[in-house]
Structure 1
Amino acid sequence: MAHTYVAYIDESGDDGLDNPFRQIGNAGGSSKWLVISACLFRQTHSLDAVKWRDEISDKMPERQSRTLHFAKLNHGQKLATVQTIAGKPLRALSVVAAKEPIPKDIYTEKNQLYFYMTRYLIERLSWLCRDHRPLAPEGDGRVAITFSRRGGMQYDEFREYLERLKADASGDVRIHWPVIDIDAVTAADHSKSASLQLADAVASAVAAGFEPDRYGNCEPRYAETLKPITYCRKKKYLSYGIKIVPNNDQCNLDQQQLKMLEIWK
């Protein structure tokens, strides 16, 4: 039987902790934040995702390509992108890592921080699929997950990581496993998947509210525009559609970044 849901995952920022962090006025260095986001929708909408992406592109006839890279759009184009996405039958989820407070000796292995944060994302994907199942009776209730391909990451290793989490008996792993098809976890190129381009827009929109640009400014409007489609449970967004690591009070948020917390109240 076919999957009920499909989820597409992309990120904004990097998981590097060793390089100097990016400073205002300088485009070099590692990002201070890592945002990993998912777009989830019913598999019956899989072909519609191309139409959604093309609807966005049609609003920007001056662009030479339909392929969307949120970071390459101007402010008006970014707003038009998230406004369009916010009107579609999908849900958005994001996990957000503040990298500066993280001790340098914790995530020392390749992709370790990325794996750790993605675990939180998949937990929340599983809760959403479980809770939404009464409204989506088609298929087998499971979700097929596709990542935007990252250089240096082996997706068979990530599937093995999920298998280890599934075997964990400590009770710390809160993934609802009946909806997660580990064998269906795969990767695709951003340029070849309209769905991944939507996930890129979500991740970049959330990151814009936390990661200052070269002039020191954050932009919360993109994330705020996506609030109607952001996963919430019992009217709570934080820890569901938006998960911040470490806790908010440990992230040294400035006044601009605190506006992102106000959005999710």
Structure 2
Amino acid sequence: MSHDEPSPWSRVPLVGPMPNKGMLAYIDEAGQRSHTPKSSDHFVMSAAILLEEDLPRAQAFLARLRIDLNRQPGHHLSWKNLRSHSDRLHVSKSIAQQEWLTISAVVVCKKMIMQGVDYKEEKIAYLHTLRFVLERLSWLAREGDGLLTYHLAHVVRFKLSQLREYESSLRGNPYCRVAWNHMDPAGGSLGQPQESEMLQLGDLTASAIFRGFEPDKYGYTETRYLQELTPRFYRRGANLTSYGLKMHPWNETTKAAYPWVAAL
């Protein structure tokens, strides 16, 4: 079996037969898509995944989180508006306790990319990362005998017609590993976290992961948010870096640069 082939879905709450289960994924990103001297060194795309039947639990969780953070009902929860380390740590810990939730994310280490996809063009970078995410979402759905619908946080200069065009190209790509029989044939949708509450889960998880890799203005990173989230990541046994937290690229150079990732 190659490093990126699908494997059994081992998240305990969803083990066992689940015929025709509806599944939902809410995807957002953190960092700049482009690869320029002024852009971030990393780009993260994260999916928060749950069963349709667990939507009320997810809504109740976000409502409780707003109370904890002294926010008004319906307030748009965004990582950038969490001003203190304490609030960010509380959010990460709280997400980690939600057994109905699964996270799968891709971390692009732009400085490590030497060949292949041209990450200097932001649209190509975004779509190539999305492909990695969709592959993993479909594997989750296949192992859970479910049908998954995904929702993307809208990004600037990216239209729904472009998403449909890309989905069509992936279907014709023999190297694409998406299990299409377990993906909603209508395709994904685009939305705003301000309007689609569940996309806020994608924002919070993507940004928590991003802070573990991207240095702040003083050169510091904070890996604790990511470490707190690890119980919720999709993994095969002990294997996190192929499924729940795919690093791109993941080679000897990257492993040496991020030795702490292997211990997650």
The answer, yes or no, to whether TM exceeds 0.5 is yes
Match of 1:220 in 2: 223
Q: Using a 3 Å threshold, how does the CA distance of structure 1 residues 14 and 107 change in structure 2: closer, same or farther? A: same
Match of 2:240 in 1: 237
1:196 aligns with 2:199: yes
Q: Using a 3 Å threshold, how does the CA distance of structure 1 residues 236 and 101 change in structure 2: closer, same or farther? A: closer
- Which residue among 51, 72, 77 is the counterpart of 2:81? 72
1:154 aligns with 2:159: yes
Q: CA deviation at 1:234?
A: 2.9
Mean Cα displacement is larger for which, 62-71 or 178-187?
Answer: 62-71
Structure 1 unaligned residues grouped into runs of 5+ = 21-28, 134-140
Match of 2:139 in 1: 127
Structure 2 unaligned residues grouped into runs of 5+ = 1-19
1:39 aligns with 2:43: no
- Which residue among 56, 59, 72 is the counterpart of 1:50? 59
- Which residue among 160, 164, 172 is the counterpart of 1:167? 172
Between the aligned partners of 2:230 and 2:250, the Cα distance in structure 1 is: 21
Q: Deviations over 1:102-157 (max 9, x none)?
A: 35982454510110011011101111111123xxxxxxx21111011111111221
Q: CA deviation at 1:72?
A: 2.4
Q: What is the root-mean-square deviation in Å for CA atoms of aligned residues?
A: 2.3
Match of 2:31 in 1: 13
Between the aligned partners of 2:219 and 2:106, the Cα distance in structure 1 is: 22
Amino acid at match of 2:147: R
Q: Using a 3 Å threshold, how does the CA distance of structure 1 residues 35 and 182 change in structure 2: closer, same or farther? A: farther
Aligned length: 243
Between the aligned partners of 2:73 and 2:197, the Cα distance in structure 1 is: 16
> Secondary structure of 1:194's match?
coil
Match of 1:208 in 2: 211
> Secondary structure of 2:247's match?
strand
Structure-1-length-normalised TM-score: 0.84
Match of 1:93 in 2: 104
Q: Using a 3 Å threshold, how does the CA distance of structure 1 residues 248 and 224 change in structure 2: closer, same or farther? A: farther
CA contact (8 A) 1:220 1:259 kept: no
CA contact (8 A) 2:63 2:73 kept: no
Between the aligned partners of 1:71 and 1:248, the Cα distance in structure 2 is: 31
CA contact (8 A) 1:56 1:80 kept: no
Q: Using a 3 Å threshold, how does the CA distance of structure 1 residues 164 and 213 change in structure 2: closer, same or farther? A: same
Q: CA deviation at 1:71?
A: 2.3
Q: CA deviation at 1:86?
A: 1.3
CA contact (8 A) 2:34 2:121 kept: no
Between the aligned partners of 2:74 and 2:217, the Cα distance in structure 1 is: 26
1:259 aligns with 2:264: no
Between the aligned partners of 2:184 and 2:253, the Cα distance in structure 1 is: 34
Match of 2:13 in 1: none
- Which residue among 129, 148, 162 is the counterpart of 1:143? 148
CA contact (8 A) 1:15 1:114 kept: yes
Q: CA deviation at 1:79?
A: 1.0
Between the aligned partners of 1:78 and 1:84, the Cα distance in structure 2 is: 10
Structure-2-length-normalised TM-score: 0.84
Between the aligned partners of 1:77 and 1:43, the Cα distance in structure 2 is: 28
Between the aligned partners of 1:147 and 1:243, the Cα distance in structure 2 is: 19
